[in-house]
Amino acid sequence: MMSLLSHLKIRVNKGNIMSDIDWSFPLNNDGPEVGLNDAGIETFKGRRLEALAREINQNSCDAKQKGIDAPVEIHFSKHEIPITEFPGLYTYIDILESCLDHWGDIDKSRLFFEKAINTLSQKTISILKISDYNTEGLKGSKEESRSSWHSLIKAIGVSNKESNAGGSFGIGKHAPFACSSIRTVFYGTKDIDGNSAFQGKTILATHKKKGELTQGTGYFGKTFRNKPLCDNEINLPNIFKREKIGTDVFVMGFNGDENWEYEIIKSVLENFLVAIYENKLVVKVGDIKIDKSSLSSLLEKFTKDEKDCLSYLYYKALVYGKCFDGHIEGYDELKLYLIEGKEYPKRIAMVRGTGMKIFDKGRFQGLTRFVGVLIAKGSKINEFLRLTEPPSHDKWEYERFEENTTHAKKVLKQLNSWISLQVKTLNSIGSVEELDIDGVSQYLPDDDIFNTVDGEDNKEFLDKPDIPKEVEVDDVPINRDNQAKTEITVGAMPTDENNQNENIGNEGQNEENDSKGGEKSNSESNSNNNGNEKNSDGDNDTEAKRKDISSEPPLSLNSFRSFCINPKVGKYQISFTPSRNGQGHLFIKIIGEQGEEQAKIKIANKKNENNSIKITSSNRIGPFKFIGGQRENIEIELMEPIRCALGVTMYEDK
């Protein structure tokens, strides 16, 4: 290694690099001593390629050139260049050796610096080059501060983007460094004003320079005040030259493996589905071009069968779903695309105006299965939501809206409620499958397996298991000897919009089963409704009625289902298929978390018939005749307009 380093030093010393153009670290000046652990880089280490694609694409979309119709275009390409083309190589190796001397007693630091020196001892170095087009470039390279160039290269925790931009913390600029084995990135740009600039940045650690301690971050460019090289001040290798307006990012010592293209493509499809579908963004990864025309086939190939991806299903919602337009008080346009289907996981992609997904929203109760995409279109709602996002941009939290947290809490609650209201309008009747009565629950999926874990460990992707496959279940006959009646509880507990978690995207893992509030085993049902057992309030009249009811023979059913069709008026449909001809009654209960009570029925009639069915003084519906094997559909309206789980007992008249 030393012979090669000596050769490199000779090459650099004899080169044309001017003495005032090199790597430089500002002095510490008795300030904080900085170690190798950088919070910004550590944020993106977990899924660095996914994070890289997400942050780079977001930044380029935010810099779209105004007044042109073409989408922002971003190219990812991997290159190998001779090590001698690494700018300021000799000085950089000296810096690494100084860092190693200063931090060599710490194992983690020693291993990093030894590996970095070894990387620069090879004949070539790997580079990931990321180039964008139809953007403004990085403006203000000649300005002292507050420019897009300064914010990217020099500023820490600063973002000066507009309301419809994606980032707001300036943390995303660290993502490329997490993909560099030597934590070094070069930037080149040509902005819309015709200015060109080039500069390198490395995030290492405090070390000694001429006996003085330095800061942890250094720059390649003009050593005086660490300025960029402007307007082709030196003759750079061809790979670093920029001819068209836009920006290049060079990740030096790229640490992606052989699957790097696959990981970036998957991240682009999962996070920028809407931007690509709306023709705001085109991404080229190696030889694969991702645009609106190729979107469907690439989703089929890269994300359809991936457990942690939902973009294939979200694409169906965008293309085939029903669109709901609306807004919440004081804010502007929202669009929600929803599509129903028993294979869908009850998730909605939450997307801001940039076209980037923030997170997957869950916690939807009810029988209807669906998938959807929410797009915050308006500038006001985008500005608000941007200010509620953490640096990871994977949830919306009202506490982050420092101007008025009470107002932010109200707005997020209203947004939750508006989404839930649109979901409730879906026509679940036509998509509901028949369920067998006894023992079928062991074959059905628990909705909890689809719970979102948004925000956990800063993950922006959903850990979603395989969609359950359909199974055929034989009809289970009811044992008349052991069962005095047939009782089935179905439906969903009411969704209390006022008690929903106001922060969206941090929903946790305690979501209850959609129908949990209404589930009871046969043994529980029989025990709780035995004619010899009094009800909880000791009502003798009710006790007498229950004794009378329990003496009637049960009606055997092949299938049964109950669901709410209009919560505003408390309207439900009850569908069942009896096993034989007969005549009987329905007795309906409201099932709550703490118990149950008799449902008070206002109206009952057969679906699509105007004739009402009699409701007895004990709130039994009937009598009416049944035909064996023929589905019956009864519509009821409760006295109170509530959304609840219903328990239904079926009796056959003597």
* Interval 44-82: pLDDT, tens: 888 899 999 999 999 999 999 998 999 999 999 999 999
Q: Does the bond joining 228 to the residue before it have cis omega, within 30 degrees of 0?
A: no
Helix (H) or strand (E) holding 3: helix 2-13
Q: In what helix (H) or strand (E) does residue 615 lie, and over which residues does it extend? A: none
The count of other CB atoms within 10 Å of the CB of residue 386 is 25
Identify the H or E element spanning 204: none
CB atoms within 10 A of CB 234: 13
- Dihedral of CA atoms 618, 620, 621, 624 in degrees, nearest 10, equals -110
CA dist., res. 439 & res. 548, Å (int): 28
**Cβ pair 38, 216 in contact under 8 A:** yes
Q: CA-to-CA distance for 165 and 155, rounded, in angstroms? A: 18
Arithmetic mean of pLDDT, 277-287: 97
Say if residue 432's pLDDT is above 90: no
CB of 89 closer than 8 Å to CB of 117: no
- Report yes or no: 591 and 652 within 8 Å, Cβ to Cβ: no
Check: CB of residue 334 under 8 Å from CB of residue 328.
Answer: yes
* Integer Cα distance of 339 and 349 in angstroms: 13
> 305 is written with which tokens?
């069968």
> 489: buried, middle or exposed (CB in 10 Å: 19+, 13-18, 0-12)?
buried
Helix (H) or strand (E) holding 418: helix 405-424
- How does residue 591 score in pLDDT terms, banded at 50, 70 and 90? confident
Structure tokens, 24: 């430089």
Q: Where are the beta strands (DSSP E) in 417-570?
A: 486-491, 557-566
Q: pLDDT of 315-366, one tens digit each?
A: 999 999 999 999 999 999 999 999 999 899 999 999 999 999 999 999 887 7
Adjacent-strand bridge partners of 597 = 590
185 vs 253: CA distance, rounded Å: 9
Cβ within 8 Å of residue 359, ≥6 positions away: 350, 394, 395, 452, 454, 455, 460, 504, 505
> Distance (Å, rounded) from C-alpha 64 to C-alpha 503?
30
pTM assigned to the model: 0.67
Q: In angstroms, rounded to a whole number, what is the distance separating the alpha carbons of residues 273 and 379?
A: 20
Domain at 2-285, CATH from 1.10.10, 3.30.460, 3.30.565, 1.10.405? 3.30.565
Q: What is the DSSP letter of 511?
A: P
Question: Residues with Cβ < 8 Å from 465, sequence gap 6 or more?
Answer: 307, 449, 450
- From residue 617, give the alpha-carbon distance in Å to each of 138, 569, 586: 77, 22, 13
pLDDT band at 368 (very low <50, low <70, confident <90, very high): confident
**For the chain, percent of residues with pLDDT exceeding 70:** 74
**Average pLDDT of 417-425?**
92
CATH of domain 529-652: 2.60.120
Q: Is the pLDDT of residue 254 over 50?
A: yes
Q: Are 319 and 282 in contact (CB under 8 A)?
A: no
- In this predicted structure, the answer to whether residue 622 has a pLDDT above a threshold of 90 is no
Closest CA to 619 of 653, 593, 649: 649
Is residue 248 scored above 50 in pLDDT? Answer: yes
The pLDDT score that the predictor gives to residue 223 is: 94
Which comes out higher in pLDDT, residue 126 or 2?
A: 126
How far is it, in rounded angstroms, from Cα 59 to Cα 42?
20
Q: Residue 77: is it exposed, middle or buried by C-beta count within 10 angstroms (0-12/13-18/19+)?
A: middle
Average pLDDT over residues 261-268: 96
Q: If you search the block for the tokens 């003084």, which residue do you land on?
A: 617
Give the 3-state DSSP-derived string for 22-88, with helices as H, strands as E and coil as C: EEECCECCCCCCCCCCCHHHHHCCCCHHHHHHHHHHHHHHHCECCCCCCCEEEEEEEEEEEHHHCCC
Gap between the Cα atoms of 132 and 308, Å rounded: 28
| Secondary structure (3-state) at 620 | strand
What values do phi and psi take at 514, rounded to 5?
-50, -35
Contact 623, 537 (CB under 8 A): no
The number of CA neighbours under 13 Å toward the Cβ of 545 is: 13
Instruction: Measure the CA–CA gap between 654 and 555, rounded to whole angstroms.
Output: 11
Between residues 108 and 594, the one the model is more confident about: 108
Residue 609: strand, helix, or coil: coil
pLDDT digits (tens, 9 = 90+) for 474-520: 443 433 333 333 333 333 333 334 344 566 764 433 333 333 333 33
The structural domains of the chain, with segments of one domain joined by +, span 2-285, 307-450, 529-652
Q: Which residue has the higher pLDDT, 27 or 485?
A: 27
Alpha-carbon distance of 491 to 567, in angstroms, equals 12
d(CA 526, CA 549): 13
From CA 538, how far away is CA 544, in angstroms rounded? Answer: 11
Check if the beta carbon of residue 187 is closer than 8 Å to that of residue 198. Answer: yes
Of 230 and 490, which is predicted with more confidence?
A: 230
267 vs 448, residue with greater confidence: 267
Q: What is the pLDDT of residues 373-417, one digit of tens each?
A: 999 999 999 999 999 998 878 899 999 998 999 999 999 999 999
Q: Is residue 599 within a helix (H) or strand (E), and if so which, with residue range?
A: none
What is the rounded distance in angstroms from the CA atom of residue 224 to the CA atom of residue 24?
9
Range with lowest mean pLDDT among 170-179, 448-457, 569-578: 448-457
**For range 552-556, the mean pLDDT:** 60
